[in-house]
């Protein structure tokens, strides 16, 4: 173990190069089969194993690049989508998205504050992260409620752990239950916390599931803005900066361009979206490699119980809605 930690930077670099080489074998005729084993769950698993056995290498770089690459990848996926098809496929989940966001916030605060007697800010942050889009929502709401660094860390760690688990179990559960592409995409977008794992799970399940999940999740992420505004009224804070997820606008522009400008040369959109998928897989490794024993230690029993309880409620509730 000590030897692994002493050489963690070299191991980190080797894994990253191996993933990149395998992914780009997809462009070499006769060697495309090599790229097939590198999926979002596999990349996340490699990152988690690395972090737990080797520790963190380049933590600041890892955190920064995972966020940026995820956003670029999501925008790139837009070049593989058609506007009319995306709106049609995501329409069914839009109504329930509104209901689930409000319902999750109310239930989450009730579980955290009334049942578990948890810290107000931590409870609110976990509810926000579960209701909308994981870490992005927590990062947006945190400054508005004047959350302490320790409260932010606990909320982010709770969501991070559950988010990693979701990427592994949701595709398996979807196949076991027998969900079609449309149903799984809707379920993943509503029940999985962070955009990264939603897109990763959708990609692992199928092309249509990916498009549905991405469309609904990014629509859900726009709720960051009204949530932050309402939060400032509830907590009576003024002049706090709200972090707006501008990459969602760029994603919409990419979809529009692919539909109306690049429709005569679909190869361009396919190439860009193909690169974006590879970027997403590499992002999964970065996210997995961000896990540390410090992150695990930060997750106390009450935040974890709130996170799991709320996750079960939204997962089971949304699944019943989708199947009925």
Whether the per-residue pLDDT at 259 is higher than 70: the answer is: yes
Whether the per-residue pLDDT at 173 is higher than 90: the answer is: yes
Q: Nearest-CA neighbor of 311 among 165, 97, 168? A: 165
Distance CA 75, CA 85 (A): 17
Whether the per-residue pLDDT at 89 is higher than 60: the answer is: no
Q: Which pTM does this prediction carry?
A: 0.74
- Concatenated DSSP letters for 57-117? SSHHHHHHHHHHHHHHHHHHHGGG--HHHHHHHHHHHHHHHHHHHHHHHHHHHIIIIIIS-
Helix (H, G, I), strand (E, B) or coil at 26: helix
Mean pLDDT of the chain, nearest integer: 81
Span of 16-20, 112-116, 221-225 with lowest mean pLDDT: 221-225
Whether the per-residue pLDDT at 29 is higher than 70: the answer is: yes
Residue 208 · residue 182 · CB < 8 Å: yes
Band the pLDDT of 299: cuts 50, 70, 90: low
Span of 5-14, 38-47, 70-79, 237-246 with lowest mean pLDDT: 237-246
Whether the per-residue pLDDT at 278 is higher than 90: the answer is: no
Question: What is the arithmetic mean of pLDDT over 179-191?
Answer: 90
Whether the per-residue pLDDT at 184 is higher than 90: the answer is: yes
Q: How many CB atoms lie within 10 A of CB 9?
A: 12
Whether the per-residue pLDDT at 104 is higher than 90: the answer is: no
pLDDT of residue 169: 92
pLDDT in tens, 114-170: 888 888 888 888 988 888 877 777 877 887 788 777 777 788 778 878 888 888 899
Backbone Cα Rg of the chain: 19
Band the pLDDT of 174: cuts 50, 70, 90: very high
Q: Which is higher by pLDDT, 137 or 90?
A: 137
Q: Which is higher by pLDDT, 187 or 228?
A: 187
pLDDT of residue 233: 76
- Concatenated DSSP letters for 184-227? HHHHHHHHSSSHHHHHHHHHHH-HHHHHHHHHHHHHHHTTHHHH
Q: Which is higher by pLDDT, 118 or 179?
A: 179
């Amino acid at each position: 173990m000590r030897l692994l930690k002493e050489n963690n930077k070299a191991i980190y670099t080797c894994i990253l190069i191996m993933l990149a080489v395998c992914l780009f074998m997809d462009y070499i005729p006769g060697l495309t089969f090599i790229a097939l084993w590198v999926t979002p769950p596999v990349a996340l698993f490699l990152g988690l194993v690395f972090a737990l056995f080797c520790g963190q290498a380049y933590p600041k770089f890892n955190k920064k690049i995972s966020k940026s690459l995820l956003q670029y990848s999501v925008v790139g996926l837009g070049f593989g989508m058609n506007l009319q098809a995306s709106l049609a496929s995501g329409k069914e989940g839009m109504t329930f998205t509104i209901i689930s966001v409000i319902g999750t916030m109310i239930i989450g605060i009730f579980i955290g504050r009334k049942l578990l007697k948890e810290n107000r800010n931590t409870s609110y942050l976990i509810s926000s992260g579960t209701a909308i889009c994981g870490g992005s929502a927590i990062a947006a709401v945190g400054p508005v409620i004047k959350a302490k660094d320790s409260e932010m860390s606990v909320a982010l760690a709770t969501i991070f752990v559950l988010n990693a688990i979701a990427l592994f179990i949701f595709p398996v559960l979807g196949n076991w239950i027998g969900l079609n592409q449309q149903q799984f995409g809707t379920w993943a977008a509503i029940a999985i916390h962070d955009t990264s794992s939603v897109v990763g799970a959708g990609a692992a399940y199928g092309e249509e599931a990916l498009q549905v999940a991405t469309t609904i999740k990014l629509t859900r992420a726009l709720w960051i803005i009204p949530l932050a505004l309402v939060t400032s009224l509830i907590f009576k804070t003024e002049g706090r900066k709200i972090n707006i997820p501008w990459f969602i606008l760029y994603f919409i522009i990419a979809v529009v361009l692919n539909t109306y400008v690049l429709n005569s040369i679909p190869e361009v959109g396919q190439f860009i979206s193909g690169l974006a998928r590879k970027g997403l897989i590499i992002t999964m490794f970065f996210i997995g490699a961000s896990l540390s024993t410090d992150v695990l230690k930060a997750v106390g029993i009450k935040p974890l119980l709130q996170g799991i309880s709320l996750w079960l409620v939204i997962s089971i509730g949304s699944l019943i809605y989708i199947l009925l």
